[in-house]
Chains A and B, each alone.
Chain A
């Protein structure tokens, strides 16, 4: 429909402009009407834009960041997660906000690679929806920054004396000087074991020794984001 409109606009403006131009050159039109002919050629140019880019045409340069890779919901942003859009070239980059200003904020929804990240996509604290049968368990952290395998939605194993349970990262709470705590979704049934443990450690689910009995309780990222 849009392409049809663009084609119609292009054809009509070009035909009318050509006819008017002919009339102007043959003295059948007032010279001051050149502005009408010029406007018609401008409309032709605009319709070429519409035709070329469809509904995705850019009126203004897209001064925005895009996701450098797939970023899950509640992902804690860091400058490396951002890339500049193709159109944001040269000096226009000056108009982009400082990437540091966007870090230490959480994504409110999963962003696929290349999807623009706007200020409205970020929040200062994570949005946590606890799945049924689970609870949120907070663990202290001394990490400088969150490694990829500890990102929100990733599966981990919780270790005390031994492997206690499988869990899912809900969010990491970090400041500029490092991460202070991690929140994980754990099954309600495992809470007594976790309470009894003197210290807890996390390990990526596909690395190290798994807890075979707890496999069935793993929470997938999809469940946390929907």
Chain B
């Protein structure tokens, strides 16, 4: 067994199997086997001797035999993993056996509390966005105050060294913080009083203050809007509507269904297989979705393999291991690595969810075509159609659709 025979194994594998199977099944399996062989070698002298012997004492027959055995082991593991990938993903989405029902409830509470925090932040941001309602009135008040000041206090300028009335707003902007309606209102009143008391045409500093205040109001407005959109997008991307899953990944999954229902009354769970068929026919979009799915599967499989590795060796090492450091490294570094896989998987799930949402936007009409159902006239008509179709397919409601077949050439 040498690098040459190993490389021939890999070459054959890459030629014979799809890239998604290789990435999400074969590569994690190979890594898993290598790490297990390394661990066993460190613990067992006889296993190490055998491994070294097989590696060094190469004959063509032996290399071929070892390549075959390695391929069989890798492929069996890879097939098992890809077959289990959906189930493994569902576990991370919070689909747990009844034994964990209480834990599930507790996790749902935690996720619900997290969602409530975002809802609360969004509610707060509405306070900031009230600036929009008052902006025009503030601008008008400032203009009027300036006109009165110019008229009744001609030539009067502020004493030198006077305090900047919009100092706190400037400080908030420099830190890129949100500025509340109340703070802006207070600053407007302060500047208004100054404009009434002095001649802004004669006082260049006061004139600049008014210009700066207008800019700060614009900043406060834009910042509140931006924060609102950001929080709203975060909520839309990370949580469904109504149902809360016990895990972050489960909530991202729920956000896909929520998106489809909210926009089109489209029940993704029922029509996913048919929609997938429509997506796969598109040569530009289907690789995007497939890539996202492959990356997600790779990360999920890697996460579970890391957990499996840590769990099994974590039990074996205290009984078989030579050194405590090895055990400590395993139980510390293993979960840390698993955590990183999980974080990456959650991020990738968002990208995957985004790809599916785009798929719904782009291919739902194609799905209607493939079902030989007429195309909707407008947006509301489409929502009604999906609701109707959903009722018929999911709940067996009575209904009727006129089929539309493409005319024969």
Contacts and interface: CB of A to CB of B under 8 A. Distances in A.
Interface of A: 24-32, 38, 41-42, 44-46, 48-49, 52, 57-61, 87, 89-90
A27 B96 CA distance: 14
> In this complex, which of A27, A59, A87 has the most chain B Cβ atoms within 10 angstroms of its Cβ?
A27
B123 interface: no
Interface in B313-354: 314, 317-319, 321-328, 331, 335
B249 to A, nearest CB: 14
23 contacts: A26-B103, A27-B105, A29-B106, A30-B110, A31-B103, A31-B107, A32-B110, A38-B331, A38-B335, A42-B314, A42-B328, A42-B331, A44-B318, A45-B327, A46-B318, A46-B328, A49-B327, A52-B318, A58-B323, A58-B325, A61-B325, A89-B45, A89-B48
B267 to A, nearest CB: 31
A45 B323 contact: no
B105 A49 contact: no
| Smallest CB-CB A-B distances: 4 pairs | A27-B102, A48-B318, A45-B318, A27-B106
A178 B110 CA distance: 77
Given A27-B102, A89-B42, A60 B325 contact: yes
Given A30-B110, A45-B327, A46-B327, A87 B99 contact: no
A57 to B, nearest CB: 6
Contacts of A48: 318-319
B271 interface: no
B100 interface: yes
Interface of B: 41-42, 45, 48, 99-100, 102-103, 105-107, 110, 314, 317-319, 321-328, 331, 335
A24 B324 contact: no
B99 A59 contact: no
Contacts of A26: 102-103
Contacts of A31: 103, 106-107, 110
Contacts of A57: 324
A47 B321 CA distance: 13
Contacts of B319: 48, 52
Contacts, number: 66
Nearest to A50: B324
A222 B105 CA distance: 75
A48 to B, nearest CB: 4
A18 to B, nearest CB: 15
> In this complex, which of B323, B325, B327 has the most chain A Cβ atoms within 10 angstroms of its Cβ?
B323
A21 to B, nearest CB: 10
A59 B329 CA distance: 11
Contacts of A45: 314, 317-318, 327, 331
A57 B48 CA distance: 23
Nearest to B99: A25
> In this complex, which of B41, B42, B45, B100 has the most chain A Cβ atoms within 10 angstroms of its Cβ?
B42
Contacts of B325: 58-61
A182 B62 CA distance: 55
> In this complex, which of B45, B99, B106, B110 has the most chain A Cβ atoms within 10 angstroms of its Cβ?
B106
A61 B103 contact: no
Given A45-B314, A45-B318, A52-B318, A27 B323 contact: no
B103 A24 contact: yes
Contacts of A30: 106, 110
A186 to B, nearest CB: 49
Contacts of B317: 45
